[in-house]
Amino acid sequence: MKIVSTAEALREQLGEWRRAGDHIALVPTMGNLHDGHLSLVRIAREHAERVIISVFVNPTQFGEDEDFEKYPRTLERDKLKLKKVSVDLLFVPEVATMYPFGIDKATTVTVPALNQELCGSFRPGHFDGVATVVSRLFGLVQPDVAVFGQKDYQQLLVIRRLAEDLNLAVKIIAGPTLRDEDGLAMSSRNQYLTDEERKIAPELYRVLEKTAEALHTGNRDYAALEKSAVEQLTSSGFKPEYLSIRRAENLDAPDRDEDHLVILVAAHLGEARLIDNLLVEI
């Protein structure tokens, strides 16, 4: 695995691979890798001769009072983890490589169709930061495919939308959410949980499953289902931001006869802000 941190070195290696006719798959991450990330790398490998993983804790997607400073930076451990999978290149840019004109003067990308609601309303500017950094990674790498986890469902739709809207020649692939045995979705932020909170955390997925079950049995009173789910989470010790049933395709409010739904949830548990979602095909 080659490790590269500058745009020049990246371009040089990409040129060599492209001249050889290789396709390139990109897995963007913020590091602190877990098995969920490794599964995205394995998916990438099925789609291209060359796999690049990027590790960059992107400052522009964190709000002022969020965890940018304390976000776990574990590059040496990440490198060891990557030995378990097949990666050709690890791209670890500095802020100046990702934002050559500085963050204040950076050209930004915004996806107004999806950036204000759900997580966007609790984390103003977050999806603009994501769209901006992902566009920059796409510009630097020009991948044929890029793989993102379905756990960040709204992020996935934002990225799909920006790629389609800007006519980018990159295919966006979703990797299924990996879960611990008790159902908790794998996430870098799970490590903020205390032992006690870790025992409560899988309740988030159980509430999603219960809500999905109700939808499957014909209950389409979305507002009542959402209210009851939020109450269950609150009584388990979470501070829920939202639990919302939406159209899976575009996060619009669903009609009563919608077949493709997604239930999305964000809730605080102690120091951790956890998100999860469940697709429901009726």
Mark the segment that binds ligand PAF (CB under 6 A) among 25-33, 67-75, 231-239, 251-259. 25-33
Residue 234 CA to residue 241 CA, distance in Å, equals 10
Instruction: Please indicate whether residue 260 is annotated as part of the active site.
Output: no
Beta carbons of 190 and 184 less than 8 angstroms apart: yes
Instruction: Give the x-and-dash track for 224-243 against ligand PAF (CB under 6 A).
Output: --------------------
**Among 40, 82, 114, 134, which residue sits at the site for ligand PAF (rule: CB under 6 A)?**
134
- The reply to whether 170 sits near ligand PAF by the rule CB under 6 A is no
Q: Which of 23, 34, 37, 126 is catalytic?
A: 37
Give 185-197 as a DSSP string.
BP-GGGGGS-HHH
Q: Minimal CA–CA distance to 211: which of 247, 279, 263? A: 263
Q: Which residues pair with 50 in a beta bridge?
A: 24
Mark the segment that binds ligand PAF (CB under 6 A) among 28-36, 68-76, 78-86, 221-229. 28-36
239-247 vs 260-269, strand pairing mode = antiparallel
Q: At what angle do helices 153-165 and 126-141 cross, to 10 degrees?
A: 50
**Among 117, 128, 144, 152, which residue sits at the site for ligand PAF (rule: CB under 6 A)?**
152
Residue 88 CA to residue 41 CA, distance in Å, equals 11
For residue 110 the two structure tokens come to 């915004």
Mark the segment that binds ligand PAF (CB under 6 A) among 16-24, 26-34, 193-201, 250-258. 26-34
Cβ proximity to ligand PAF, 40 vs 245, nearer residue: 40
Cβ proximity to ligand PAF, 138 vs 222, nearer residue: 138
Catalytically active residues, by annotation: 37
State the residues that interact with ligand PAF by CB under 6 A.
28-30, 58, 61, 130, 133-134, 152, 155
